[in-house]
Amino acid sequence: MSANIGTVGRSIPRLEARAKVTGRAEYVHNMRVPGMLHAKVFRSTLAHGRIRKIDVSAARAMPGVFAVYTGEDIRKLIAEPYYGPAFHDQPILALDKVRHVGEPVVVVLAVDPHVAEAAAQLIVSEYDELPAVYDEVEAMTSKAVVHEVLKPAGTFPDLKHLKGKRDTNIALDFHLHRGDPESAFAKSDYVFEHTFRTQQVLHLPLEPFATLAVPGDATLTLHTASQSPSFVRIEIARLFGWPENKVRVKVPYLGGGFGAKLYIKTEALAAACAMLAQRPVKLALTMEEQFYMITKHAATLRIKSGVTNDGRITARECEVWWNGGAYADIGPRVTQKSGFTAAGPYDIDHVHIDSYALYTNLPPAGALRGFGIPQLVWAYESHTDMIARALKIDPLAIRRKNLLREGRPQATGTLMRDAALDAVLERLSERVQWEKAFDHGTEKLRRGRGIAIGFKASISPTTSMAIVNLNADGSCNLYCSTVDMGQGSDTAMAQMVAEVLALPMDVITVVHPDTDVTPYDMATLGSRSTYHMGHAVKNAAEDARVKLITLAQELGLSAETTPIPDIFRKKYGMQAGNIVGVGSFIPPYAPPDANGQTPDATPFWMIGATGAEVEVDTETGQFKVTRLVNLVDVGRAINPAIVETQISGATIMQLGFTLSERMDFDAGQVTNASLADYKIPGIRDVPLIMENEAVDAVQKSGPFGAKGVGESGTFGVSPAIANAIDDAVGVRLTSLPLTAEAIYRALREKAGNPLNND
Amino acid sequence: MTTTRTIQFKLNGEPVTAQIGTHQHLVEVLQERGLTGARESCAQGLCGCCTVLVNDVAVSGCLYLAAFADGANVRTIEHAPEGGLDVVQEAFIECGAFQCGYCTPGFILMTRQLLDEHPEPSEDDIRHYLSGNLCRCAAYPEIVKAVKLAAVKRKSYA
């Protein structure tokens, strides 16, 4: 082995770059196998109702239809056909009740997908309509109850006490209490209280959800577009009552994920169909169907702060209601983990947080690039500016005054370590030249600027395993179940192997997730892979390195100077054998106590801040984001070019959630379920000036000083823009998305001439 | 219930004969033939993932009926007469102009068409021309850089 060649820290092109630019990269949506049936789903048109009758006779009679299955047919195969990561609340097909518009009720199988689709349209269902609840705050007390009984999955020990709880829509309530907020409010010079709202949006990966299930001899192989192959295997095996090794889950590249393709999505239905039909079944959703599958929580957030005359925040109270939709998915975890940081990146002695995960009759909500954090930052950073304006304090100065510094305890009591909050804030102020005079434009075209900073705890405690296999010719395979959905994990992991074993990149192959081959990983989510899997990969590579050195020594060779093939040849007399290194990683974690206090809430902190400049037409409310500056702390970047793409990609995605994206509903029916009516950012929506920077920082506990990056770019975008709008025209928007209409209405109201609502 | 017919067209330079349903769109027929570079995503002709060249003009393959390709010259991202990568593909790799890669073939085909028509496109030309292609990973800043680099490469190779 030669000396360290410095692969980590270099902007190496993605391993799969050639496959992607030639259109040859493999995605489940494009897969087909001989004898395959296509599955098409008949969905509920009602938000909440008891199933009275389902008539599938016409669909079954249609020529070319192979089979039609209802929830009752699934129940014959699987006695308890309910799944979910936090609660076993979601049926594979609706049973007894439907709980949201778009819920799968019947599935049709045919060789020709057009036949399956046409047959599905012949199905007739009748329901006894039940009262529905859509609003998250109303759900707290609503008489409409989405689930009669709560069914925690048992995966998370701290949800067990909810088992069997009846007649409530509260799936989880998380509480954090630190110090004595009540007295602190009484003693503070000012108390500010504001309420903010965020809208329901969705991930919308361009490759919609897809699973191809292939039955074998009492086994099942799932090719699936999933971010969590290990979870899929365990959950499908549990449903069938099989050992894990009878289910094989394979994941190629993903055409985007963003948190949508986690846990069980199309997998359980495809698996059940394949087992009932004993034929390969492909369930590939349309763009429209993605709107019914999984979304991002709409939320209502109330924040109250006690503040001194000079802008020091002494107490904060937060109440957050998360609209989880009809099935819990990972919502309870969003509620708890985001609850840790709901008070913001500020040093506040007295904090009280109440966070509620609520069931409603809307499409389910889960994790979307930030696990609830972008909603929280939207609220607390709008609130920060509102306080600053009221007290006539500079927005940068109030943040500097209150920022959590290194070594200080955060609201959970966990100390801030390797969290470059101040470096990110200071570098942001330099990049946007905050302390220089700013041109506010003309009376008609006003200009404004705003900043915002947020942080996030990582997902803990979660496990990653990896295997590094050194072949006799010196080439190397890395086996790990991290899913490359575009974030560049294959490349980053290979760089770590190359670094440890001093190998060139082109001799390393990353074996894609295949649960018969690649070892367990909790999932690709929450920006955890670089840190968690990075550690496991580094450990596996180091294990292989030690074994190689030991082998060389046994043979009287130097591993430093002898080429790897020569070491193998001397040992085995020919090109033969392997060296297998294994690695695993689980970070330290201490669960929170009844007051939400823990000395170890997270293995690392993610930090993101944004500076925004806007131009607002005061006559119409039309506005433009003219500049976005994004600063993050990612520790040390493994691949700086890919890191920058992650920052800007996250920022632009959040720009969509800030300016244009909103699921519209009428009686629980989403009315804009297409790219024609639901506007995601296109190339013309990117601000002409966009700058991204990762500050010079090191995560000392991270592999090669690195930590996660995928979500940090989302944190500050929404409040920075709302703060800039306020700076430009003096109106404050408290609901997302920020639209020209909302600004115009606010301007009219400010002028004492409010617009009629009719 | 389906009506079928036989069509003949040139696919990436090779003559082919295909039995198709008259309701089938071009992407479906290409996928059945193992060409998966053009993919269906939005199914409304809005995202550009399904881009295919018919008689040298980019079309939305998810809306374009296969029957209309009868007698046409059809080219897809898989078409590589020189065997290797062209300057647009090289530039996309060098600039890191993609993440998940699902939309990338569409962007590359549109970029080639852009550079055929505007060898030295301005930033505004690029944004205008590629506004019919969506990238949910939002690698747009890198895509703009890649298009500019490809233009320079084309010029220096010419």
How far apart, in whole angstroms, are the C-alpha atoms of residue A176 and residue A184?
A: 16
State the sign of the Cα–Cα–Cα–Cα dihedral A31, A32, A37, A40: positive
Which positions in chain B touch A118 (Cβ < 8 Å)?
A: 1
Which residues are CB-contacts of A456 (< 8 A; sequence separation ≥ 6)? A341, A370, A371, A373, A527, A605, A606, A607, A711, A712, A715
Instruction: Using DSSP bridges, classify how beta strands A689-694 and A623-633 pair: parallel, antiparallel or unpaired.
Output: parallel
Alpha carbon of A58: minimum distance to chain B alpha carbons (Å): 15
Interface test with B, best of A11, A18, A21, A675 (most B CBs within 10 A): A21
Q: Say if residue A532's pLDDT is above 90.
A: yes
Whether B143 is in a domain gets the answer yes
Q: CB-CB: which of A13, A24, A680 is closest to B96?
A: A13
Q: Say if residue A702's pLDDT is above 70.
A: yes
pLDDT (0 to 100) of residue A162: 84
CATH number at residue B136: 1.10.150.120
pLDDT digits (tens, 9 = 90+) for B10-46: 999 999 999 999 999 999 999 999 999 999 999 999 9
Q: Are A470 and A564 in contact (CB under 8 A)?
A: yes
- Within this chain, do residues B71 and B92 fall inside the same structural domain, yes or no? no
Whether B81 is in a domain gets the answer no
- pLDDT band for position A733 (cuts 50, 70, 90): very high
Residue B110 parent element (H or E)? helix B104-117
- Within this chain, do residues B105 and B133 fall inside the same structural domain, yes or no? yes
Interface A-B, measured as beta-carbon pairs within 8 A, has a size of 162
Q: Say if residue A519's pLDDT is above 70.
A: yes
Which positions in chain B touch A25 (Cβ < 8 Å)?
A: 101
Looking at residues A720-735, what average pLDDT do you find? Answer: 98
Q: Is A177 helix (H, G, I), strand (E, B) or coil?
A: strand
Q: CB-CB: which of B31, B123, B128 is closest to A30?
A: B31
Q: CB-CB: which of B89, B92, B138 is closest to A648?
A: B138
DSSP state of A569: H
pLDDT (0 to 100) of residue A249: 98
Instruction: Using DSSP bridges, classify how beta strands A170-178 and B14-21 pair: parallel, antiparallel or unpaired.
Output: unpaired
pLDDT (0 to 100) of residue A586: 95
**What is the residue range of B58's domain?**
4-75
Q: Hey, are the CB atoms on A683 and B133 less than 8 Å from each other? A: yes
pLDDT digits (tens, 9 = 90+) for A126-155: 999 999 999 999 999 999 999 999 999 987
Residue type, position A358, single letter: L
- Whether A21 has its CB under 8 Å from any CB of chain B: the answer is yes
Just give the CATH number of A295-459+593-750: 3.30.365.10
- Nearest CA-CA partner of A151 in A104, A97, A86, A99: A86
- Within this chain, do residues B16 and B53 fall inside the same structural domain, yes or no? yes
Closest Cα in chain A to B97: A645
DSSP state of A186: H
DSSP state of A12: P
Which positions in chain B touch A114 (Cβ < 8 Å)?
A: 2, 21, 23
- Whether A142 has its CB under 8 Å from any CB of chain B: the answer is no
Q: Say if residue A167's pLDDT is above 80.
A: yes
Q: Say if residue A2's pLDDT is above 50.
A: no
- pLDDT band for position A461 (cuts 50, 70, 90): confident
Mean pLDDT of all residues belonging to chain A: 96
Q: Which of B75, B96, B128 is the last residue of a domain?
A: B75
Q: Which CATH number fits domain A462-585: 3.40.50.620, 3.20.20.70, 3.40.50.300, 3.30.365.10?
A: 3.30.365.10
Catalytic residue among A182, A430, A711, A741: A711
Residue type, position A611, single letter: G
At the fourth CATH level, which superfamily is domain A31-132+203-293? Aldehyde oxidase/xanthine dehydrogenase, a/b hammerhead (3.90.1170.50)
> Which residues numbered 99-138 in B keep a CB inside 8 Å of some CB on A?
99-105, 108, 123, 126-128, 130-131, 133-138
pLDDT (0 to 100) of residue A1: 47
CATH number at residue B19: 3.10.20.30
Q: Which of B46, B75, B104 is the last residue of a domain?
A: B75
Looking at residues A505-513, what average pLDDT do you find? Answer: 97
pLDDT (0 to 100) of residue A5: 58
- Within this chain, do residues B11 and B31 fall inside the same structural domain, yes or no? yes
pLDDT (0 to 100) of residue A159: 76
Whether B25 is in a domain gets the answer yes
Rounded to a whole number of angstroms, the CA Rg of chain A reads 27
Rounded to two decimals, the pTM is 0.97
- Within this chain, do residues B105 and B54 fall inside the same structural domain, yes or no? no
- Whether B98 has its CB under 8 Å from any CB of chain A: the answer is yes
Q: Which of B15, B42, B75 is the last residue of a domain?
A: B75
Q: CB-CB: which of B94, B105, B136 is closest to A205?
A: B136
- Whether A25 has its CB under 8 Å from any CB of chain B: the answer is yes
Looking at residues B92-108, what average pLDDT do you find? Answer: 98
Task: Give the number of domains in chain B.
Answer: 2
Closest Cα in chain B to A484: B100
pLDDT (0 to 100) of residue B83: 81
- Within this chain, do residues B71 and B8 fall inside the same structural domain, yes or no? yes
Q: Say if residue A598's pLDDT is above 50.
A: yes
- Whether A690 has its CB under 8 Å from any CB of chain B: the answer is yes
pLDDT digits (tens, 9 = 90+) for A64-85: 999 999 999 999 999 999 999 9
Q: Are A136 and A38 in contact (CB under 8 A)?
A: no
pLDDT digits (tens, 9 = 90+) for A47-68: 999 999 999 999 999 999 999 9
pLDDT digits (tens, 9 = 90+) for B134-149: 999 999 999 999 999 9
ipTM of the modeled complex: 0.98
- Whether B4 has its CB under 8 Å from any CB of chain A: the answer is no
Looking at residues A374-402, what average pLDDT do you find? Answer: 98
Q: How many Cβ atoms are within 10 Å of A391's Cβ, its own excluded? A: 16
Which positions in chain A touch B130 (Cβ < 8 Å)?
A: 683
Where do you find CATH 3.90.1170.50 in chain A?
31-132+203-293
Q: Hey, are the CB atoms on A649 and B99 less than 8 Å from each other? A: yes
pLDDT (0 to 100) of residue A135: 98
pLDDT digits (tens, 9 = 90+) for A552-582: 999 999 999 999 999 999 999 999 999 999 9
In angstroms, how far apart are the furthest CA atoms of chain A?
Answer: 91
Q: Hey, are the CB atoms on B102 and A27 less than 8 Å from each other? A: yes
Whether B94 is in a domain gets the answer yes
pLDDT digits (tens, 9 = 90+) for A275-306: 999 999 999 999 999 999 999 999 999 999 99
Closest Cα in chain A to B76: A23
Interface test with B, best of A33, A204, A683, A689 (most B CBs within 10 A): A683
- Within this chain, do residues B71 and B97 fall inside the same structural domain, yes or no? no
pLDDT digits (tens, 9 = 90+) for B63-74: 999 999 999 999
Where do you find CATH 3.30.365.10 in chain A?
295-459+593-750, 462-585
pLDDT digits (tens, 9 = 90+) for A320-330: 999 999 999 99
Looking at residues A599-618, what average pLDDT do you find? Answer: 97
- pLDDT band for position A364 (cuts 50, 70, 90): very high
The two counts, helices (H) then strands (E), for chain A are 19, 29
Q: Say if residue A665's pLDDT is above 80.
A: yes
Q: How many Cβ atoms are within 10 Å of A502's Cβ, its own excluded? A: 17
pLDDT (0 to 100) of residue A154: 83
- Whether A490 has its CB under 8 Å from any CB of chain B: the answer is no
Is residue A182 flagged as an active site residue?
Answer: no
